[in-house]
Amino acid sequence: MIQINSNFQHLKPSYLFTEIVDRTRAYEKSHPEAKVLRLGVGDVRGPLVPVVIDALHRAVDDLATVERFHGYGLENGPSWLRRRIVDFDYAPRGIRFDDEEVFISDGAGSDLGNLTDILDLHNRVAITDPVYPAYFDTNVMAGRTIDLLPCSPENEFCPALPEQVPDLIYLCSPNNPTGTAMTYKQLQMWVDYARENHALIIFDNAYEAFIESADVPHSIYEIEGARECAIEVRSFSKTAGFTGVRCGYTIVPNALYGYSSTGERVALNPLWLRRVCTKYNGTSYIAERGGEAVLTDEGRRQNMERIAEYHHNADIIRQGLQEIGMQVYGGVDSPYIWARTPDGMSSWEYFDYLLNTAQVVCTPGVGFGKQGEGFVRFSAFGLTAVAEEAIRRIQNK
């Protein structure tokens, strides 16, 4: 008799985005004249930039010829892309890796979920609250013990070091949902703590391209000692609008070790390579060529123009909410603005209030964890005209 993984029964229903859609649809149905503005979703806006479109076209043309056809590639990605990542993304910041320390993926989501395959089920896991739900759910599915690290304006959204020492720590900076980012000093504190305790940090850096503040590192490997305790997960999704194309990369440094049940030190890089070669057959060649084009001077220039628009939207939202006295956080190194609801309203009360009075959709913070109660998230991934109109309505209601 086939038995299920009973841990799945411990997952909380993931109703956040369906509930938002349901409530918005219900409102639109009863107010057919209303033009609802959506500042809830965390997805990018098209189109892809021209340099990427050209590369994708060329990759398709390659597949149309016998000479340049590509079938199976290396499971961890082609060396031309891994080298480009090292040379273009890391070397200018003084960080050096061998090609074999880079793994090409189909985006951050899969690797964030799969990396724990190489880690024991009894590891104790520390996760921030509020949080991007994937880290939490992945570890619930595996049945691990999870400790939550509260993040709030009081600790500047940088969690205090826990007394109960974890084995695995998830950090996300710039952060989804709070839109805040960790400084060099804050990240150094976590790297030192992880090294002292032989813990591993999984560092989700999906929003790196949004960093503007000089005191925020662009990679955890800018922090001394990080290559001995951290895996960094990156993605082209938010950098270059690849949410539908699917390509990303993960760095598993050769200097990273874990411990076997008999206390022996074991390098993590070969374990992850083995896992990738067994359970993954490589990223799409077309998506990889698109990723390569992102990592060029022209690719960066074109994508940063789009990101500048998102930053501009974030400024409009942040300043507009501040002008009516709301407490807002994030939105500087990130496309997300995290706002405290006024008058002690709950996240969902404020969601309904905003939908009904301004026809604006936000994301209730409580959907990202208990500490998110009393907050909402606004996303700047829309058109500037929509951000402007939404703020006008919120200010005038």
**Is residue 333 at the binding interface for ligand PLP, with CB under 6 A as the rule?**
no
Closer to ligand PLP by CB, 300 or 377: give it: 377
The span from the CA of 160 to the CA of 143, in Å, is 25
Closer to ligand PLP by CB, 110 or 359: give it: 110
Q: Report, in Å, the least distance between residue 14 CB and ligand PLP.
A: 14
Greatest alpha-carbon pair distance for the chain in Å reads 68
Burial class (CB in 10 A: 0-12, 13-18, 19+), 361: buried
Q: Which of 77, 109, 166, 258 binds ligand PLP (CB under 6 A)?
A: 109
What stretches of the chain adopt beta strand conformation (E)?
37-38, 102-105, 124-129, 145-150, 168-172, 200-204, 230-235, 248-251, 257-259, 265-267, 328-330, 336-340, 360-361, 363-364, 375-379
Closer to ligand PLP by CB, 8 or 17: give it: 17
Query: Of residues 121-140, which lie at the interface with ligand PLP (CB under 6 A)?
Result: 132
What angle do the packed helices 384-396 and 347-358 form, to 10 degrees?
A: 100
**Is residue 235 at the binding interface for ligand PLP, with CB under 6 A as the rule?**
yes
Show the tokens assigned to 1.
């008799």
Contacts with ligand PLP, 148-187, as mask; x by CB under 6 A: ------------------------x---x-----------
Closer to ligand PLP by CB, 173 or 302: give it: 173
Q: In sequence order, which residues have a C-beta less than 8 Å from that of residue 98 and are 6 or more positions away?
A: 86, 254
**Is residue 204 at the binding interface for ligand PLP, with CB under 6 A as the rule?**
yes
Query: Of residues 258-297, which lie at the interface with ligand PLP (CB under 6 A)?
Result: none
Closer to ligand PLP by CB, 44 or 293: give it: 44
**Is residue 206 at the binding interface for ligand PLP, with CB under 6 A as the rule?**
yes
Show the tokens assigned to 99.
């090609």
Q: Report, in Å, the least distance between residue 183 CB and ligand PLP.
A: 18
Helix (H, G, I), strand (E, B) or coil at 163: coil
Binding residues with ligand PLP: total (CB under 6 A): 14
**Is residue 107 at the binding interface for ligand PLP, with CB under 6 A as the rule?**
yes
Torsion angles phi and psi, residue 120, rounded to 5: -65, 150
Question: Where on the chain is the footprint of ligand PLP (CB under 6 A)?
Answer: 42, 107-109, 112, 132, 172, 176, 204, 206, 235, 237, 243, 248
